[in-house]
Amino acid sequence: MLSFMKEFTDELMESLPVGFNEELLTSSNDISIEELVVMTMKELEAISNYKILEYYTIDDQDEIDYNYHTVNINYKKKDLSTIAIPKRKYVTKSRYKEMVFKIEIKTNLHERIVEKRILIPVEHEGFHLINDKKYKKNWQLCDASTYSQRGKITLKSRMPIIIYNSKNRPVYDVDGNEYLLNSFSYALQSKARRASKPKTKFINPMMIFAAKVGLTNAIEFMGMGGIISITNIKKDKADLMYFPIGEDVYIKVSKPIFTQYGYPESLVPSVVCMLYNLSSREFPITKENLDDKLYWTCRIGYVGSQKDKNLMKFYEKGKTTMLMIERLLNKITVKNLRLPMVYKYNIYFVLRWLIENFSELKSHNNMDLNYKRIRKNEYVVDSSLGRKISVNINNIIEKLGKSRLNSMDSLLELLNFPSDIIMTGMKNINDLVKSDELVNDMTFLQEIAYSEKGPNSLGENSAKTISNKYRDIHPSYVGRIDCNSTSNSDPGRSGSLTPFCKLYDGFYFSPDGEPCEYRFHFEKIKQDMNEKLGTHYSVNTAGKYRSFQEYKNFLESLDMEKAAKAKCEELAFIPLFQVAPITIVEKEESNDNELSDIVDYSTLNIEDSNTTEDSTEESAETNEETDAEE
């Protein structure tokens, strides 16, 4: 505490709010459980076979038959009316509502409409009554968006979205000159098998973009139009640089912006490095497969797999990986990110935002409250219903390559979860949901209690893994958190908010949104170089605005639904990067030759040498091992 006294300035004390924060004490700004359940259930429509026709809430508890929710209903049964519902009277009391979803499930061979009923707890006078026991939800203090570790940043979502930064990666031009550049890689955590640790795949982000829209469009998507291109012709010009990546295939780079603009920390050298790391001796890049999405999908499947001469064998694995990546970002995370929609439209735009603003996001202090937020109802729904639906959708994706499992039964299995999953799950969050055992009039203190433990938190599986620095205090706590109130058994992980703590947008400790200024300043630099050096770099709409705030206001006014018709550079890639829904197609008989009409890459020879992808993976794995040791 004494080490921070010099930071407790008079200006800081004068900026503290005056008066109680009634919205904090009453949780009036918290998102309702009904709204969160609807957002979670709509994630089912990521599978095109699902369509939510309607939903409604039954508020009158007398109209709800609790016996229906005590039976595990198997939706694969053809006649649900044959399921025996008990006729019991319950002595214990609970307060709840019932949400009813009418869902249409359709395949090319079958069609069915089912009703899924979900019980949701009702809060009365600040408490939830479940089986004659009163429960109180505490605030969870969590990261507002990302948290930083050595060499990487992680976006908090239902599944973590991790970007690694590898420094001083050697890159050689056609003349043999060496450049030490920074590169980025995306870390995809794969499903762990029994008695084994989960493995992590490190994938080049440019490969992900190329598998979706081709490599040429991927370069344009990163804002490198007129700066970087792929060519098979070398010209001897002083303002151009060439780096080999395949058979007579070169990265052509404009030298002025490569060497002058923040070298080597800027985005231009980093994109060059990521493109250079795409080279492969086993399956070389050619002019023909440069924009071949199938080729890049197979290359993604090849990452982390055993070597094989036939690249097509990795198609299904690459396709599954792409589907997994596209489902990482859920609707709740998109809602919580304080960014213009153009930066968080889907996972591809979020990955680009993380890479472009990596330095700013990496500089965030994990202890600073300005980069944190609080939540209540969100963790109740997300840790139970949200997690279950996410796991079930991933199971559907894993079955796509097995035609015999693509059936109506597989789709119906997705709904086979208990209808009281939220109420049961809430009782099991012991770190955040406390049973009411108070016998005095000091219950108002529970309204400002918080904990950093719980779902998606640091040390969720074991508190022993938490470093002491995360149990310390920070100057940003002044006026917001009671520094003298903490847990005896787990110090520094829970405590009390001050009743006059000022919050912004309902849940955040700072009025500032997420950093997203990089693209604006980059476009301004290109515009300035065009005027001074006579270059011809493409500049988007940012060049028309004097300040970033004016440009941000413009971005927030854009209509994402009209992106296809809008003549705006910022929206040009939205139609190309649309996330297509998953479709389950039932087959009457298996077809072993379903890929026979696709280009065959099996003629490419494989050599016994490590690829650039392998070296990228090893570099990122080294960073990960260092983090684990720390």
96's CB contacts (< 8 A; 6+ apart) are 61, 64, 119, 120, 121, 122, 423
Q: Say yes or no to pLDDT of 601 above 50.
A: no
More confident residue, 247 or 268: 268
- The verdict on 526 and 628 lying in the same domain is no
Which amino acid is present at 308?
A: D
Are both 604 and 549 inside the same structural domain? Answer: no
Residue 541 is assigned to a structural domain of this protein: yes
Cα angle value 75/77/81 (rounded, 5°): 90
Whether the Cβ atoms of residue 378 and residue 332 lie closer than 8 Å to each other: yes
CA torsion through residues 176, 178, 184, 187, sign: positive
In single-letter form, the type of residue at position 193 comes to R
Range of the domain at 609: 166-187+203-291+600-630
**224 domain residue, yes or no:** yes
- Both tokens of 232, joined, read 């098979």
Query: 530 and 624: one domain?
Result: no
Overall number of domains in the chain: 2
Whether 101 contacts 53, CB under 8 Å: no
Same domain, residue pair 538 and 630: no
Q: How far apart are the first and last CA of the chain?
A: 24
Q: Is pLDDT at 611 greater than 50 in this prediction? A: no
Please report the sign of the dihedral spanned by the C-alpha atoms of residue 178, residue 181, residue 184, residue 185.
positive
Q: 252-271 as b/e, with b when 16 or more CB fall inside 10 Å?
A: bbbebbbbebeebebbbbbb
Same domain flag for 613 and 533:
no
Strands 133-137 and 127-130: antiparallel
Residue range 273-292, pLDDT digits in tens: 999 999 988 899 998 899 99
- DSSP symbol at 282: S
- Same domain flag for 522 and 630: no
Q: Which tokens go with 175?
A: 């003349």
Look at residues 24, 27, 78 and name the one whose alpha carbon lies nearest to residue 499.
24
Q: Residues 221, 308: contact at Cβ < 8 Å?
A: no
Lowest mean pLDDT among 240-244, 367-371, 403-407, 489-493: 403-407
Closest CA to 157 of 336, 369, 411, 421: 336
By 3-state DSSP, what share of the chain in percent is helix, strand and coil, each rounded to 5? 35, 20, 45
175/259 same-domain check: yes
Q: Given this model, what pLDDT does residue 628 score?
A: 42
Bond before 256 cis per omega within 30 degrees = no
Q: Which of 506, 345, 322, 293 is nearest to 400 (CA)?
A: 322
Same domain (yes/no): 541, 626: no
Instruction: HSE, CB side, 13 Å, CA atoms: give it for residue 122.
Output: 14
DSSP labels for 407-423?
SHHHHHHTT-S-TTHHH
pLDDT tens digits, one per residue of 384-398? 999 999 988 888 888
Name the pTM for this structure. 0.87
CA of residue 24 relative to chain centroid, distance? 27
Whether 81 has a pLDDT exceeding 80, the answer reads no
Q: State percent of the chain over pLDDT 90.
A: 39
8-state DSSP, 554: H
Query: Do 178 and 269 fall within a single domain?
Result: yes
Same domain for 522 and 625, yes or no, is no
Q: Check whether residue 281 and residue 173 sit in a common domain.
A: yes
**Looking at this protein, which amino acid is placed at residue 36?**
L
H helical segments located in 449-547: 518-533
The answer to whether residue 460 is domain-embedded is no
Residue spans of alpha helices (H) in 534-611: 548-556
Least confident of 167-181, 228-242, 384-398, 600-614: 600-614
- Extract the tokens encoding 472: 């310390």
Spatial CA neighbour of 202 closest among 169, 234, 236, 166: 166
The closest alpha carbon to 285, from 218, 230, 235, belongs to 230
Token pair, residue 564, equals 């296809």
Please say if the pLDDT value at position 592 is more than 60.
no
Q: Check residues 317 and 588 and name the one with the higher pLDDT.
A: 317
Cα–Cα dist 75/110, whole Å: 14
The arithmetic mean of pLDDT across residues 417-427, rounded, is: 90
Q: What is the mean pLDDT of the chain?
A: 83
Is residue 452 in some structural domain? no
- Cα→Cα distances 94→264, 416, 437, 450, 627, Å: 62, 24, 17, 25, 46
Q: Residue 608: phi, psi to the nearest 5?
A: -85, 70
pLDDT score, position 352: 95
Residue at 10 is within a domain: no
Give whole-number Cα distances, 226 to 111, 210, 252, in Å. 51, 18, 10
Chain center to CA of 465 = 24
In a domain, 618, yes or no: yes
Q: Which residues pair with 112 in a beta bridge?
A: 105
| CA dihedral (564, 569, 570, 573) positive or negative | positive
Q: Is residue 546 part of a domain?
A: yes
Main-chain dihedrals φ then ψ at residue 119, nearest 5 degrees:
-85, 135
**Strand, helix or coil for residue 346:** coil
Which stretch of 52-61, 261-270, 601-610 has the lowest confidence by average pLDDT?
601-610
Query: Over the stretch 334-361, which tens digit does the pLDDT of each residue have?
Result: 999 999 999 999 999 999 999 999 999 9
Tell me the residue length of the chain. 630
Q: Six-digit token pair at 610? A: 């490590």
Q: Is residue 275 part of a domain?
A: yes
User: Measuring CA to CA, which residue among 474, 435, 423, 425 is closest to residue 452?
Assistant: 474
Residue 24 carries which side chain, given as an amino acid letter?
A: L
Collapsed DSSP state (helix, strand, coil) of residue 138: coil
Q: Is the pLDDT of residue 537 over 90?
A: no
Largest pairwise CA distance in the chain: 88
- Domain end (from 554, 577, 611): 554
50: enclosing H helix or E strand: strand 50-58
